[in-house]
Structure 1
Amino acid sequence: MPKVRSLFLSDIHLGTRACQADRLLDFLREHPAEQTFLIGDIVDFWAMSRSICWTQAQNTVVQKLLRRARNGERVVFIPGNHDEVLREYCGTVFGDIEVADQLMHETADGKRYLLIHGDQFDQVTRHHRWVAVLGDKAYDLLVRINHLLSWVRRKLGRPGYWSLAGYAKRRVKTALNFIFDFEESAVHHARERGLDGVICGHIHWATIRDIDGLAYINCGDWVDSCTAIVEHFDGRLELVAWGELEVQQRQLAAPAAMPDNETVEV
């Protein structure tokens, strides 16, 4: 039986060095589902136009999603701005994967959510593309530096995961104002449609929060925070930070030290 009813993933950025495909594969193995929604920026054609980094793990992610679709799981791909070239194929099916511009999803408890990537609510991306591309390069640099810092922290035995990109967002007032404007615009769009909330991505800021009675839910990303939204069979939506849970699970799974004369049956 599937472990959860639905998975919501966004901003995987396949084709880039920053993509944490190995962690995503671990997450997918632990979360079989009835349906998976890929909410934009799954493949990063922006970055691939400059250089391509396509690892075996990234290839396995694609194969695993295709296999899920072939085995009867519903898989829906909603393109974002980094894979916007695929928007012209909305309404079609590739390898049993549906492609849609946006979607209305009803949870098990009857609530209805708009599924949309979210770049439609980003005035910078819509009207000042060169600024968005420059910001994308700067974010990519922060993520690369963060990987180096994470390696140093592990060597020093520092627990937990610390995000340089997240720290920068929290410290920069303009970035925070942009995020809050984005959230309010997304919720306003869902309210106009008479829905209970919105599930999106785009800004790499995972959260579940109430805004004026509607649910604003952001999936986060798989280049920095390694986060996803899962729907349980009772309709409850949960934010999973896999980067943190993975460390905890490995610590729990580590065998305790035993005397030399003791054996373990496998």
Structure 2
Amino acid sequence: MQNIHTMFISDVHLGTPDCQAQLLSKALTELAPKKLYLVGDIIDLAAMRKKAVLPQDQQLLLGQFWQMAREGCEIIYIPGNHDAPLRKVCGLKLGKLQIRRKAIHKTRDGRRFLVSHGDEFDGHVRIHPFMLRLGDHAHQLLLWLNRCYNKVRQWLNLPYRSLAAMIKQRFSSAQRYIQNFQDAACIEARRQSLDGYIGGHIHQAGFSHRQGALYCNDGDWVEHCTALVETNSGKLQLLQWPSMKVLGEPSAPLPFASERVNS
């Protein structure tokens, strides 16, 4: 594993039983990034309004974030739709920790990416708002089934498998939503003359070249336990825990946005 400069994580959903706090804590310790983007839905304030749950491992993870900032790691927190109340304090800086609505990240090799949670593109994916709300409730049910399914697999000494991901891959409507989401994100990145987009929200990690830009999604920490990382040389990779396996890297890079404009 090459030295990691920047790490992007999203959809941790602290405050819910689906949160994989211990695995994420281990990942942060192993990689020790110099810069960390918390790309939304880190604390699930929406769920905590109904039932406030924050077990010890999740409390320790929050403490770890704060300790990393105190030790010099630059942390940029971009609230998502589940921690949207924190958007009211965007612009706040506490030492190395800052809260922002979105960011422009410049990689070590000079590329520039729009970074946001991604829920702002929900209105661009041609799905009725009622269906979006229904999908959110259905996803919560899938996560509950996922916990039950993997408890049985653990009892049978079988490795973890995301039931929710297996089901979503079999529905063409879910795949259309993902493709429309990717297009909307990359169109916005190109509108700002950027090289690509980095976000979360849809719990579907991956890379793709769309609309003349590089789309990167860091996944989640409730189903897949994935993170997007940038090495000291500027290479982007998707990693998955607990194996710390490299899930993928972008295919041949596009010319930088500035090169495309000048060509």
| Cα distance change on mapping 1:173 and 1:125 into 2, 3 Å | closer
Matches within 5 A, 1:115-130: 115-123=115-123
1:8-48 per-position Cα deviation (integer Å, ceiling 9, x unaligned): 01010111111111111111111101100001111111111
Aligned to 2:161: 162
Following TM superposition, the consecutive aligned residue runs of length 4 or more in structure 1 with deviations greater than 6 angstroms are: 124-128
1:119–1:126 CA contact under 8 A, matched in 2: no
| Cα distance change on mapping 1:9 and 1:231 into 2, 3 Å | same
2:124–2:180 CA contact under 8 A, matched in 1: no
1:18–1:140 CA contact under 8 A, matched in 2: no
Question: RMSD of the TM alignment (CA)?
Answer: 2.1
Aligned to 1:227: 226
The answer to which of 25-34 and 136-145 deviates more is 136-145
Unaligned runs of 5+ in 2: 246-263
3-state SS in 2 of match to 1:171? coil
| Cα distance change on mapping 1:57 and 1:126 into 2, 3 Å | farther
The answer to which of 200-209 and 132-141 deviates more is 132-141
Aligned to 1:252: none
Matches within 5 A, 1:81-92: 81-92=81-92
Q: Counterparts of 1:233 and 1:124 in 2: how far apart (Å)?
A: 35
1:44–1:82 CA contact under 8 A, matched in 2: yes
| Cα distance change on mapping 1:89 and 1:118 into 2, 3 Å | same
The one-letter code matched in structure 2 to 1:228 is A
Aligned to 1:191: 190
2:125–2:181 CA contact under 8 A, matched in 1: no
| Displacement of 1:213 | 3.6
Q: Which has the higher Rg, Structure 1 or Structure 2?
A: 1
Q: Counterparts of 1:82 and 1:126 in 2: how far apart (Å)?
A: 21
The one-letter code matched in structure 2 to 1:195 is L
The answer to which of 138-147 and 225-234 deviates more is 138-147
Q: Counterparts of 1:153 and 1:3 in 2: how far apart (Å)?
A: 34
Matches within 5 A, 1:134-145: 134-145=134-145
Aligned to 1:249: none
Aligned to 1:256: none
> TM-score with structure 1 length normalisation?
0.86
Unaligned runs of 5+ in 1: 247-266
State percent identity of aligned pairs.
40
Q: Counterparts of 2:5 and 2:166 in 1: how far apart (Å)?
A: 33
**Residue 64 (str. 1) matches residue 59 (str. 2):** no
3-state SS in 2 of match to 1:49? helix
Aligned to 1:245: 244
1:227–1:243 CA contact under 8 A, matched in 2: no
Q: Counterparts of 1:170 and 1:146 in 2: how far apart (Å)?
A: 15
Q: Give the total of aligned pairs.
A: 244
The one-letter code matched in structure 1 to 2:202 is I
1:155-200 per-position Cα deviation (integer Å, ceiling 9, x unaligned): 32334x3211111211111111111100000000000111110000
Q: Counterparts of 2:140 and 2:238 in 1: how far apart (Å)?
A: 24
Q: Counterparts of 2:158 and 2:62 in 1: how far apart (Å)?
A: 33
| Displacement of 1:203 | 0.5
